[in-house]
Amino acid sequence: MMSEKLAIHGGPKAKTTENYPMYPGGLEIGDEEKRQVLEVLDNQYLFRYYGPANCESKVKRFEQEFAEKMGAKYALATSSCTGALISSLVACGVGPGDEVIVSGYTFFASCAAIVAAKAIPVIAEVDETLTIDPDDIEKKITPATKGILVVHMRGVPCDMDRIMSIAKKHKLVVIEDCAQAVGAMYKGKFVGTFGDCGCFSFQYHKTITAGEGGMIITNDKRLYDRCMSYHDTAACWRPDRFAEQRYEGELFCGSNFRMSELTGAVMLAQLQRLDGLNARMRDHQHRIIEQIKNTKGIKVRPCYDAEGDTGICLMFYLDSKDKVEPFVDALKAEGVNAAGVFNAGIPDWHIYAHWKHVIDKKTPTEVNCPYDCPYHTKAEPVEYAPDMNPNTLEYLGRVVHLDIPPQMSDEDCDMIAKAINKVAAVLA
């Protein structure tokens, strides 16, 4: 049977419908978000701790509902996921002289947060799931290792059984970066609830959004208090902000990562949309995968818990990195938004090889903290190179990536699957 002529060679397009941008919650903003925001403005109650009216804080209510949703005891809203990560690392005792292991495939902020906490990032390999490789975690543990920052990358959960076992064995703290995985699950439990702290993002590209914003969840009251201290250096949250500390380590100088009432108002409405958005994306992803899972020449990205995948994207491997660019170009010609993941010549802050400011150990002052830290005495100096994690670059170099907007229809999904199969028949 002859292959159908590709659109890039003059054949008809497989997908003839419009492509939606990947702003899942952003494109759903409507009356409920407006109602919540107008309530804040009408009450002139713009700051959660005080204002002209005696009103319930939208941020506080969002924290309560988010904690209940995720099955966590405590939730703390922040101005961003980066702020959530920094606050969590500091709360967990990470600081000068410490090393924190993080994967080499994540947005740069995951790594930058470790540096902001005055610790040294140790960049580990990912495995075929494109999440941190537990085997490489063990290889990169030194006497200076304080914790692991695990990233549930592109909507899928890490191997939390292995990771938590390693952490327990070596007495390490675990921070979960769930920025791209709000609502993802691992064996029936929401990500973010396995480690000491879980951190989330509500930036505009994320599933639910207020443009910016973040959240920390934890089951540890002391960690919750310490996150509060760091995220609100003015200590507005304390019953008596001027009182002596209630226990050693409760109060210290921090930053200001507080969430505004307007952001909290939008997020209250967006949280109600989370289950529906994830359900639609999962349905779309499953529909496409069912039609391409047996296609020769491609392999769908594996997952430690496929049912827990949020479905925000579809990623599949080709058997050679040299095939990725022609495959992607052909898919685009078919009307499908697609992209490769790693190209050494195209900077992307999601891939460690492009983190030049870390690789070159750039700092804002001549005091090269934390890399030349006098407290870093338990292990050899940490060195970086663009090719230091070859498995990560090899995996990412062979991947084709497609966003899965929840606004798509079943017809869109079928057209995408048709396009993938059509291109694979010629180029895979």
What residues act catalytically? 206
Q: What is the number of other CB atoms lying within 10 angstroms of the CB of residue 171?
A: 9
- Please, how many CA atoms are within 13 Å of residue 282, restricted to the half-sphere of its CB? 18
From CA 369, how far away is CA 196, in angstroms rounded?
26
| Contact between residue 59 and residue 77 where contact means Cβ atoms under 8 Å apart | yes
From CA 231, how far away is CA 242, in angstroms rounded?
17
At 101, list the tokens: 């292991």
| Contact between residue 147 and residue 138 where contact means Cβ atoms under 8 Å apart | no
From CA 118, how far away is CA 194, in angstroms rounded?
24
**E strand or H helix that includes residue 223:** helix 221-231
Q: What is the DSSP letter of 184?
A: -
Angle made by CA atoms 300, 301, 302, in degrees to the nearest 5: 110
At 325, list the tokens: 């660019």
- Three-state SS at 254: coil
β partners of residue 99: 120, 145
User: Given the structure tokens 């392999």, which residue do they identify?
Assistant: 299
- Three-state SS at 240: coil
Q: Length of the chain in residues, anyone? A: 428
- Three-state SS at 305: coil
Burial (Cβ within 10 Å: 0-12, 13-18, ≥19) of residue 81 = buried
At 390, list the tokens: 């070859």
Burial (Cβ within 10 Å: 0-12, 13-18, ≥19) of residue 253 = exposed
Percent of the chain as helix, strand, coil, to the nearest 5: 40, 15, 45
| Cis preceding-peptide flag for 24 (omega within 30 of 0) | no
Q: What is the number of other CB atoms lying within 10 angstroms of the CB of residue 200?
A: 29
From CA 311, how far away is CA 181, in angstroms rounded?
9
- Three-state SS at 149: strand
